[in-house]
Amino acid sequence: MRGLGAGLIAALLSAGPAAAADLTPAQAAEAVKRHVCFSTTWWGDPYVRLGQPVTVDVRADGHVAYLWSEDMRAVPRVKRWADSYVVVQRQGGPVVTQRSGYNVDLLRGEPAYERERRRVYAPGGQRLAVNLPTTCEPRFQPDSPLKAEMRAVLMASLTNAVRTWGRRPAGGQVRMIIADFDVDYPEAFALRQDTGEVLRIALLSADAMSYTGGRARQYVVTPAAKGPVAAKLRRLILRHGQTRVISVR
């Protein structure tokens, strides 16, 4: 039974873009709403206009969609702020793989701004009215074979980080509190108990269709900079995490 599960998940993760269903504008907008909640909860984004109706322009192109909104965030001392998103339809559902923000009045004409705007305002685009969530308390998806596979890669990545650049633990073991996550999260988070470090684990890679860090099957792990965001992450990890022991030889 275990071998069958491994075979199924291997087939799932090796499927290329052609195997994914086409993405609809509505699905892409829902993925952006989930990403907004992630950034509000985990990154402490203070500018999202939660609970407000916003306008989102979207162009879907097969398994990829490009989105642009100029009223999703209210940034102090900025007259017009634009958010650009890329959403990819993976086997497990739509995932935001890129998000950029622009001060429209300052950056209009810059190559990146114009490139991201052009890919939305091309034939086939449409405008959606999107109601942003009022609250963003995490409600995690139940465990699944895909989530278990991601968790295994996450554990291996943390082990590699401790082995290669982290402080070597006494006795070769370190206790980590690992926060729960969803398969469309851009990052996961962990707290190393012996040093108090908050660690960020990037779940996205150069392979936009991969859930497991691309061909290397490794996520990039970095320490969170000390400050208000790290303190917020620590509280969330303690609230939504489980303790695991990592062994380093």
Q: Which long-range contacts (C-beta less than 8 Å, at least 24 apart) are formed by 221-226?
A: 221/157, 221/158, 221/160, 221/161, 223/197, 223/198, 223/199, 224/189, 224/197, 224/198, 224/199, 224/200
Q: How many residues does the chain have?
A: 249
174 vs 177: CA distance, rounded Å: 10
Contact 67, 56 (CB under 8 A): yes
Given pLDDT bands bounded at 50, 70 and 90, which one contains residue 179?
very high
| DSSP state at residue 120 | T
Q: Which two tokens stand for residue 197?
A: 């470090």
Instruction: Look at residue 18 and tell me whether its pLDDT is greater than 60.
Output: no
Indicate left, alpha or beta for 30 from its phi (over 0: left) and psi (-120 to 50: alpha).
alpha
The string of DSSP codes covering 168-200 is: PPGGGEEEEEEE---TT-SEEEEEETTT--EEE
156 vs 158: CA distance, rounded Å: 6
Q: What is the CA radius of gyration of the chain?
A: 19
Mean per-residue pLDDT over the chain, rounded: 92
Given pLDDT bands bounded at 50, 70 and 90, which one contains residue 167?
confident
Q: Which helix (H) or strand (E) holds 216?
A: none
SS3 145: helix
| DSSP state at residue 97 | E
Write down the pLDDT at residue 248: 87
Q: Which of 20-29, 117-126, 235-244 has the lowest mean pLDDT?
A: 20-29
Pairing of strands 53-61, 126-131: antiparallel
Contact 87, 31 (CB under 8 A): yes
Q: Which two tokens stand for residue 23?
A: 């993405």
Q: Which residues lie closer than 8 Å to 202 by C-beta, 6 or more apart?
A: 186, 187, 219, 220, 221, 222
The more confidently predicted of residues 39 and 17 is 39
**Alpha carbons within 13 A on the beta-carbon side of 37:** 20
Given pLDDT bands bounded at 50, 70 and 90, which one contains residue 21?
confident
pTM for this entry: 0.88
